[in-house]
Structure 1
């Protein structure tokens, strides 16, 4: 008798499953198709992005070679093309290199390009600081100390990636402006930072020697 009941239960379950399949089969098939299409689309997207990155990397290397061969006009054109077409990583690097190439012929225009990068939050804080320093370096002989200070003060703070270069530029700018106190302030920060590169520390000491002695109280 129990076997009979088992067979009836099995038949009922099959009948219920058939009804469910008849009712929802289209939805199940559609969902399966969407899943397969989604996975395929994502894999395709990953492949295309990897291909673009590889192409951009090769183009970037070629542009760097042109620059190293002093073919700055060709390098400028090559970096500009990468900026227009490459993924974000190589695009940012190429914007920096493009500004560097422009600096060979028009420092003020290059400084403006660095300023644009420095104002672009999408490139990240470190790249922004690097652009600030590169731009300030081009303007060091023409801009006022207050202008250089406005550009670099934040980048010279404790823990900033490029603080050493920022402090050196600030010290040089203050020295050019005959601001002894500001010069000494930045040189002291260079001297007191245990991570200051040795070469920069030596240059700071040489500049320190050019300053008048501190007045005794």
Structure 2
């Protein structure tokens, strides 16, 4: 009986050896790849957390510089954020903040460059849309109306469409294109929530152009039914 069991065990051992000889190398490499992937993912997660923490510290420093209106420090910290932590949200937010202070200080070129960077390299579509609207505001102040319309022509997330339409209406109104301005204001009015103060602002703009917002709402409802 013992001899029979020994033979079975030997046969199983031989089969195992044969299997390992044939597939062992492949199995080993598969395990190495899996372990490397797990290690790489954990390393990447750690790297992301580290990047976010360091970028956050720099953003805090930028906020302090903004409060102090220290333009030179703002420029330096903003550049650090963009060069070292470009993929983080803090880099885009920092550029928005820098652009705001720089514009207030009259450094429009530097503010424009900061906003263009967000639009080109920002990682968040919402923040990029904010940069687009703020850049258009600077262009409107400079009376660069065609440039402003070009800036506002790109697609933006749905929640920003009303804001962009309103700003387009402003540009067209300043250009003396009242009918086209009304079209954009109508879009904004239709998309804005009934309870928002912003909608009342658009309503006032329509009134100034001789348009009754209630008629606008009625027209919008009729268009929806088509």
TM-score, structure 1 as length reference = 0.75
Deviation of residue 81 (structure 1)? 1.0
In the alignment, the residues of structure 2 paired with residue 69 and residue 196 of structure 1 have an alpha-carbon distance, to the nearest angstrom, of 39
Deviation of residue 78 (structure 1)? 1.5
* Per-residue CA distance 1:61-95 (angstroms, 9 max, x = gap): 22123213333332232122111111512233333
In the alignment, the residues of structure 2 paired with residue 148 and residue 191 of structure 1 have an alpha-carbon distance, to the nearest angstrom, of 21
Aligned to 1:164: 162
User: What are the equivalent positions in structure 2 for 1:20-169 lying under 5 Å apart?
Assistant: 35-36=34-35, 38-86=37-85, 88-89=87-88, 90-103=90-103, 104-120=105-121, 123-155=123-155, 160-169=158-167
Deviation of residue 119 (structure 1)? 3.9
Say if 1:164 and 1:196, in contact at 8 Å, map to a contact too. Answer: no
Q: Is the partner of 2:193 in helix, strand or coil?
A: coil
Judged with a 3 Å threshold, the aligned counterparts in structure 2 of structure 1 residues 33 and 165 are, in CA distance, closer, same or farther, namely closer
Q: Is the partner of 1:105 in helix, strand or coil?
A: coil
Which consecutive unaligned segments of at least 5 residues does structure 1 have? none
Judged with a 3 Å threshold, the aligned counterparts in structure 2 of structure 1 residues 12 and 61 are, in CA distance, closer, same or farther, namely same
Segments of 4+ in structure 1 off by > 4 A?
18-38
Judged with a 3 Å threshold, the aligned counterparts in structure 2 of structure 1 residues 108 and 182 are, in CA distance, closer, same or farther, namely farther
In the alignment, the residues of structure 2 paired with residue 41 and residue 213 of structure 1 have an alpha-carbon distance, to the nearest angstrom, of 61
Deviation of residue 139 (structure 1)? 0.9
- The number of residue pairs the alignment matches comes to 210
Deviation of residue 179 (structure 1)? 1.7
Deviation of residue 33 (structure 1)? 5.7
Q: Is the partner of 2:159 in helix, strand or coil?
A: coil
In the alignment, the residues of structure 2 paired with residue 187 and residue 24 of structure 1 have an alpha-carbon distance, to the nearest angstrom, of 70
Say if 1:76 and 1:101, in contact at 8 Å, map to a contact too. Answer: no
Q: Is the partner of 1:123 in helix, strand or coil?
A: coil
Deviation of residue 56 (structure 1)? 1.1
TM-score, structure 2 as length reference = 0.72
